[in-house]
Amino acid sequence: MKTKLFLLTIFALPLITIAQEEKSEKKFRDNIAVSFDPTAGGQFIDLSELNSSLNQIGFSNFSNGNSNLGINVGFWFYERAFIGTEWSFVSNFKNPTSSNNQTAYLDGSRLLIIVGYNFFRAEKINLSGYIGYGGNLSTLTIKDNSGFNTFNSAITSRNTSTTDLISELIEFTVGADYLLKPKNMDCEKRKLRIGIRAGYQYGISNRWSSGTDEIQGPKIINNGLVFKVIFGQLQN
């Protein structure tokens, strides 16, 4: 309950900022900027229990690091408050193998709702804080790399198994952006943005499932450092 009240308060901050700034004479629509930012980065999580389970059946370890490629889309209000969403593809840095000619993969996608606040503004530099809440859907795939001698054996053998991991998490980051407007840009209010984000994510819950059934599985601790680089544009 306390977690839900905390999130509700945090996600209400952009609306409070909008209400306060609306008292000014400027038109509301003139103070909305749209941002579109491809992102790339990584995150570190604790996969020790999963690795322990895989070790028991002959696999080497996954890395505790994941790569992250995604897109961040949102709105800035009065150049202060931000609300948006981020979707990203997540993949582990390492694919463990076994002595039985099998390979394990841990890939998935992540979706966050993000709010932020710009606490420092200069002509070309912005510093902001962000809080994201959402989920991560990962799939653990075990693939048998053995070949098949006949067509029938190839289509009837189940050489790949999948298990899904659904996680809930909160992410806290601080970002620095450098804004620039190339001379060949024809729009007065359009700017390019290059930035970095660094912070920490906390896992709230996770569960394993196979098909439609929930199953017991190793605990994944989604607490770890997060780092991202963004390159996109901002337009009023």
pLDDT at 21 over 60: no
Exposed / middle / buried, residue 144 (Cβ in 10 Å: 0-12, 13-18, 19+) = middle
* Domains along the chain with CATH numbers: 30-146+153-235 (2.40.160.20)
pLDDT-derived band at 25, boundaries 50, 70, 90: very low
Strands (E), the chain: 32-44, 65-77, 81-92, 102-121, 125-144, 160-180, 190-210, 213-215, 224-235
Q: Are 117 and 128 in contact (CB under 8 A)?
A: yes
CA atoms of 73 and 192, how far apart (whole Å)? 14
Taking the C-alpha atoms of residue 82 and residue 76, their distance in angstroms, rounded to an integer, is: 5
What is the per-residue pLDDT for 109? Answer: 93
For the cut 90, the answer to whether the pLDDT of residue 7 exceeds it is no
Q: Closest by alpha carbon to 176, among 199, 158, 150, 203?
A: 199
From CA 28, how far away is CA 44, in angstroms rounded? 40
- 128 vs 191, more confident: 128
pLDDT above 70 (res 221): yes
